[in-house]
Amino acid sequence: MILLKDILYKVPLDSVVGNTSVAITNLHFDSRLVALNDVFVAIRGTQSDGHEYIIKAVEKGAIAVVCEELPEQIIHGVTYVKVVDSASALAVMSANYYENPSHNLKLIGVTGTNGKTTIASLLYQLFEKAGYTVGLLSTVKIVVADQEFKATHTTPDSLTINKYLAQMNIAGVEYCFMEVSSHGIHQKRTEGLKFAGGIFTNLSHDHLDYHNTFAEYRDVKKKFFDELPKDAFALVNVDDKNGPIMVQNTKAKKVSYALKTVADFKAQILENQLSGLLLKINDQEVWARLIGSFNAYNLLAIYATAELLGLEQIEILQLLSQLESVSGRFQYLISEGNITAIVDYAHTPDALKNVLETINDIRTKNEQLITVVGAGGDRDTTKRPKMGHIASALSSKTIFTSDNPRSEDPNTIIEEIEAGVEPQNFKKIISIADRKQAIKTACQLANPHDIILIAGKGHETYQEIKGERFDFDDYKIVEETLKQLEK
């Protein structure tokens, strides 16, 4: 039996109306899920305010309500708990409800603009290969030991996080690697969790539709490191100027990694080919199947984390060489006609620049680089012309198309992308709003040895248009189109 007062442990309370010694069944922040003897937490979200659904939750059987503002109508027999911040309260209550599962494993959070999915997923891969029982909370999927679940957000809500962590406790998971997004930090989804370590990858232009300014975006990321416990580690990329800022106020052990500057963990790129990377990490050479300088950073962060978690250097190097790329992250195929197609999640100016520069470093320049790229609707509009400028400047040909237009007109988005193209690159661009047709056109334009980059959606297997999701897989479409054209 769980009592309301037990799950309110460590939640700052403003006032209480009723009895906190009542037995409760479940905890919800969605009034539609509430049943008899449940607790309803009213959260002010970006789309709706949970306070408007308090009466509905009580009618469905809620025995307790946690809110920032008490309703005018107080129902006898229902306990009302007023708190300063409902989202924060939900996070702490979720951890208490599931008996603080993050304390029973080593939870590592990965944050930054680019590289979160790759680092978290490959750390899962590495530790699983090392023989540990491992968990993963990522954009691509959630994994409890060897059982997979579909992911809906980069960082799930606090109730979902703790539910999966509790399942990991039951499965005997020793290490869990988790993507920590700026939205997740800002919305208090990670509060109440005990992290054994935090990794900072880099910071560039993204989510300014949500965070308003770059400084606000940076400071939200920093908050994650500010709250790490002193027995945790804070591993940061000091080649990024924001790396040192992240750990200014952390209590955790500060550790750095870099390719260009002095750091605790250093790497050097010896070879960069389409087949992989030859790296020197802390004076030891290792061949990895991943491609590009951005992946050199990812591999170095993985190496450093594994060493900080107690793995031996030789074992880590052996395991690094076995790692395979993550779905939709520089995922490539070479067709029978010798055309290389690369699918990548690059959806920020910095990520797109990294991928295109990586391809240009590898290719001989005797072949074309054809880029298919768009930008998501209802998101940060300021990055659109930057994406257009980068794609057209660094490609032989560029096809602007739709990404997930959501509620916006794809043609309007494309016009905003085109605004960043410089006059000397006008002849290089084509605009095709239909993404499938854009990919097919890229394949038709390609000759043997040419390279096609399809950027923006990566691992996603859907396209979101006017509130509906349709099946759409960049990798499958380019693979099938090239097969048909080369019959």
pLDDT mean over 123-141:
95
pLDDT digits (tens, 9 = 90+) for 304-315: 999 999 999 999
pLDDT of residue 208: 47
Determine the Cα angle at 93 with ends 87 and 96, to 5°.
150
- Expressed in percent and rounded to 5, the helix, strand and coil fractions of the chain are 35, 25, 40
Predicted confidence (pLDDT) at residue 207 exceeds the cutoff of 50 = no
The enclosing H or E element of 197 equals strand 197-200
Confidence of residue 211 (pLDDT cuts 50, 70, 90): very low
Residue 217: what pLDDT? 81
CA distance between the termini of the chain: 65
Residues 6+ apart with CB under 8 A from 209: 378, 379, 380, 381
Q: pLDDT tens across 448-483, in order?
A: 999 999 999 988 889 999 888 999 999 999 999 999
- For 25-40, what is the mean pLDDT? 97
Determine the Cα–Cα distance for residues 411 and 375; give it in Å rounded to an integer. Answer: 11
Where do runs of H (alpha helix) occur along 172-292? 182-186, 208-211, 214-226, 243-246
Average per-residue pLDDT for the chain: 93
In single-letter form, the type of residue at position 129 comes to K
CA pair distance 237, 253, nearest whole angstrom:
14
- What is the rounded distance in angstroms from the CA atom of residue 222 to the CA atom of residue 185? 10
Question: Alpha-carbon distance 401 to 411, whole Å?
Answer: 8
